[in-house]
Amino acid sequence: MNSEPTILAIASNADSITLKDGRKEHAGYYLNELVIPVQAALDAGYQMVLATPNGTKPIMDPQSATAAHFGGSEEALRKALDFINTHPAMQNPRSFRSLIEEGLDRYIGFYAPGGHPPMVDLIQDPDLGEILRHAHSTAKTTALLCHGPIAIAAAMPKAKEFRAALVAGKPEEAKRLAEGWQYAGYRMTIFSNDEEHYAEEHYMGGGKIPFYVNDALKIAGGDVSISDKGIFKPFVIEDRELITGQNPPSDHEMAKRFVKALDRATAKAA
């Protein structure tokens, strides 16, 4: 087993999301949201393991494979695509359960990108819940971007029921189900409702998603803030071990904060 400080990159296995009208819309992780922070950690000397609920490769949202998400640079886009197509960790994901059975102590930090898939499976995955409870109890850096922060709801003992209540439009029931959540009271951010309305209009044919992640974290007890500079502006919040970013343009700020937190943890452990 590699003794180098290692991060665990967490991704979804969902490839679609069911809208309120029953229509299924393709979904996947956002390329820049995964590659920019992870590559920054690798460049800083950390190793990476990729894990998904069932151990199969996560699906990328093809709409994210555009130079616009990489400062307009076609070269940066090409490098990002090369990374996901060739990096050994990206080709050989592990299942959450297999990593739990191996032991989670080797991981110095955890990172999850967005795209809509975390709303589907990560939010209610019991194995991810176990990983998150380990991260929380050991105060290990836990960073999540865009829709990614909704995954921390998995730490709830009744995460499946919590999601079901959100989908059913029962916020009071969801609030009750979230009682005792480890991250209640943490300052955090996530993809805003206004940004979601934009996504619904421009990427989902006007269809409505099953619930809004911003509202969900507030219902759960998170102290949620969004940028006051308008939609799709970089915004990252750090509170204790938790680092959350609002949207795709927050990728570079997230990368910077993530690496700094990892470096602090490494120095402390030395």
What is the residue-averaged pLDDT of the chain? 97
Q: Is residue 81 a contact partner of residue 41, using CB atoms and an 8 Å limit?
A: no
Given this model, what pLDDT does residue 7 score?
A: 98
Please give the DSSP secondary-structure letter assigned to residue 207.
Answer: P
- Residue 95, classed as helix, strand or coil, is strand
Q: Is the pTM of this model over 0.75?
A: yes
Alpha helices in the chain (DSSP H): 31-43, 74-86, 88-91, 96-102, 126-137, 159-167, 171-177, 193-203, 213-220, 251-269
Given this model, what pLDDT does residue 270 score?
A: 80
Indicate whether 81 pLDDT > 50.
yes
DSSP assignment of 35-88: HHHHHHHHHTT-EEEEEESSSSPPPB-GGG-SGGGGTT-HHHHHHHHHHHHH-H
The mean pLDDT value for 182-197 works out to 98
> What size, in residues, is the chain?
270
Residue 138: CB atoms within 10 Å? 11
Indicate whether 118 pLDDT > 70.
yes
Indicate whether 1 pLDDT > 50.
no
CATH number of 6-269: 3.40.50.880
Indicate whether 3 pLDDT > 70.
no
Q: Is residue 142 a contact partner of residue 110, using CB atoms and an 8 Å limit?
A: yes
Structure confidence at residue 269 as a pLDDT band (50, 70, 90): confident
- Encode pLDDT of 211-224 as tens digits: 999 999 999 999 99
- Encode pLDDT of 14-24 as tens digits: 999 999 999 99
Question: Domain-by-domain residue ranges, the chain?
Answer: 6-269
Indicate whether 121 pLDDT > 80.
yes
Is residue 85 classed exposed, middle or buried when 0-12, 13-18 and 19+ CB atoms within 10 A define those classes? exposed
Given this model, what pLDDT does residue 4 score?
A: 85
Indicate whether 200 pLDDT > 90.
yes
